[in-house]
Amino acid sequence: MQVIDPSTGEVKARYALMDERALEAALARSAAAFRAWRETSFAERARLLERVASSLRARADGLALRMATEMGKPLAQGRAEVEKCAWVCEHYAARAADYLASEPIDVGADRALVTYRPLGPVLAIMPWNFPFWQVFRQAAPALMAGDTVLLKHAENVPGCAEDLAALFADAGAPDGVLESLRIERARVARVIADARVRAVTLTGSARAGRAVAAQAGAALKKTVLELGGSDPYVVLADADLERAADACVASRLINAGQSCIAAKRFVVVRDVHDRFVELVVERMARARVGDPREPTTEVGPLAREDLRATLDDQVRRSIAAGAEVALGCEVPDGPGFFYPPSVLTAVTPGMAAFDEELFGPVAAVVEARDEAEAVVLANASPYGLGAAVFTRDPARGRRLAEHALEAGTVAVGAFVRSDPRLPFGGIGDSGYGRELGRHGIHELVNVKTIFVSVS
């Protein structure tokens, strides 16, 4: 594995892959650790996560710099990601015992209860775009449930994976509780098939999700899949346009647009379309693009050269199909994998900017005649991760969010974000299962029914 600085294109470090003997040792450690970890108390597990949270905050600057160097995240966003990781550790440390408390069920004269027991080693196949947060939102609930974690991180962030393992080791985690597997993609199927692995969780593309689901299904392993998204943000005629533009642009540009739940398609009713486009273009044009290690940078480079090439191809195909350029849409000269904040208008179904996920800082504006057509256009996607609606009428917004927009999470008057207290996940090509909150930890346990006859 090698680290390529996305702001310069230079190779910064190389890491050796695990050989088969090292991989087998890691799997054995995880299985052995599970047998002891499952018997620890919630209080003991919580103390570990609290120590990890403290260490995260103490190391925030260094971890943010690691992200900037390996995948291009601006330092301020990196520090915010680290803080969110500490939050999810503290959340589950405080709430897991309640989330997993046994539940008595009234079945008449006899007695019954539902209990929640750990499954075993969980394989977490994680992406590069939020290299700490994505891991912690799986690891924190899994560890508090009594599972152990096998981390297969993205191949372009090996230093982040090393830092994650060090955080747990330095916090006193027993050997094997969190194991980092430095293996290539081709060996993931071998790990999924291993009888010691009891569940698989993946954050990645729909293509990766299908492959992992097929492999896990063949081995009868539980899976949780958080995949891509093409989140529609519906802007109605009565919306506060300034506020809507602020939220839409903030969501579109976070992590240089490389987020599954970033705003992707701005579906705007005709009466306010032109003014909304003006506001979005103004805000996108003001965003400061540059070296992610500079404190004033708001938009860093894309993480890899191939990702930029894919984005540019999608933009080119959309323009050829009739989309219009309102801002940007040109690959800049110079080193690194930068792409400017860009706006496409006149986007319609059938174009790449509408049908595909644009993983970069390109906003696709879609015009709708009215609310009814806006909903149809918003839902005209194979994805269903997040969505948002902007209106001055909260009741109208809630009605559309609850009954009309098809997604795992819908925000009214704000942009979509994950929260440790709330379930998160999608439908359709955005995957299945839920992360975070009570629902997320329940994905990683054996929901066991106990029936006791007293007659």
CB of 336 closer than 8 Å to CB of 42: no
Burial state string for 64-99 with b = 16 or more CB within 10 A and e = fewer than 16: bbbbbbbbbbbbebbbbbbebbbbbbbbbbebbeeb
Contact 198, 120 (CB under 8 A): yes
| pLDDT value, residue 108 | 87
Q: What CATH number belongs to 231-419?
A: 3.40.309.10
Whole-angstrom distance, CA of residue 385 vs CA of residue 426: 4
Mean pLDDT by 10 residues, the chain (455 residues): 96 96 98 98 98 98 98 98 98 98 90 96 98 98 98 98 98 98 96 98 97 98 97 98 98 98 97 98 98 97 98 98 98 97 98 98 98 98 98 98 98 97 98 98 97 85
**pLDDT at residue 428 in the model:** 98
- Please tell me the pTM assigned to this model: 0.96
| d(C-alpha 397, C-alpha 243), whole Å | 15
Q: What is the pLDDT of residue 80?
A: 98
Q: What is the DSSP string of 219-287?
A: TT-EEEEE----EEEEE-TTS-HHHHHHHHHHHHHGGGG--TTSEEEEEEEHHHHHHHHHHHHHHHHH-
What is the residue type of 392? R
Tokens of 101: 């408390």
For the stretch 321-352, pLDDT in tens is 999 999 999 999 999 999 999 999 999 999 99
Record: fold of 2-227+430-452: Aldehyde Dehydrogenase; Chain A, domain 1 (3.40.605)
What distance in Å separates the CA atoms of residue 298 and residue 124, rounded to the nearest whole number?
Answer: 30
Sign of CA dihedral 410, 413, 415, 420: negative
| Residues in contact with 373: Cβ distance below 8 Å, sequence separation at least 6, in sequence order | none
Distance between CA atoms of 288 and 285, rounded to whole angstroms?
8
pLDDT at 207: 96
User: What b/e readout covers 276-287, taking b as 16+ CB neighbours within 10 angstroms?
Assistant: bbebbbebbeeb
| Residues labelled as active-site residues | 226, 260
Decide: 153 and 160 in contact? Cβ < 8 Å: yes
* 143 contacts 48 by C-beta, under 8 angstroms: yes
Residues 252, 284: Cα–Cα separation, whole Å: 9
C-beta of residue 92 within 8 angstroms of C-beta of residue 420: yes
pLDDT at res. 454: 83
Domain boundaries, the chain: 2-227+430-452, 231-419
Asked whether the beta carbons of 273 and 339 are under 8 A apart, the reply is no
